[in-house]
Amino acid sequence: MDSTFDAVDREIIEMFRDKPDLNRITQAHIIDGEKFVFRYDADSADCLLQEVGKMAADKDIGFTWQDSAVVSMRLRKLQKEQRSILDRARTGI
């Protein structure tokens, strides 16, 4: 499952290659050929979590609660990795 999402992320990253922004994170989620692309910065991650919940609750969007959980899980994983990198940088390890 992750390899499929990683491939989609790489495809989306290619779309934004000419618009580099080191402060923004791009995450993609694909459902039955439909792509949902989320670009956000670390300070707006909590807002993204709220928005994917709203999208899952909207029956007019093909975005389910399971999709919301997957995006949220990936976001939290990235946040954890970022905190780990910052902690290592602070301690010099």
Tens digit of pLDDT for each residue in 20-35?
A: 555 677 777 888 888 8
| Overall pTM surpassing 0.75 (yes/no) | no
- DSSP at 25: E
Distance CA 84, CA 76 (A): 12
- DSSP at 40: E
- Print the domain residue range for 42: 2-91
Residue that is written with structure tokens 């080191």 in the block:
22
- The 10s digit of each residue's pLDDT in 39-79 is 888 788 888 899 999 999 999 988 999 999 999 998 888 88
If one counts the domains in the chain, the total is 1
pLDDT > 60? residue 12: no
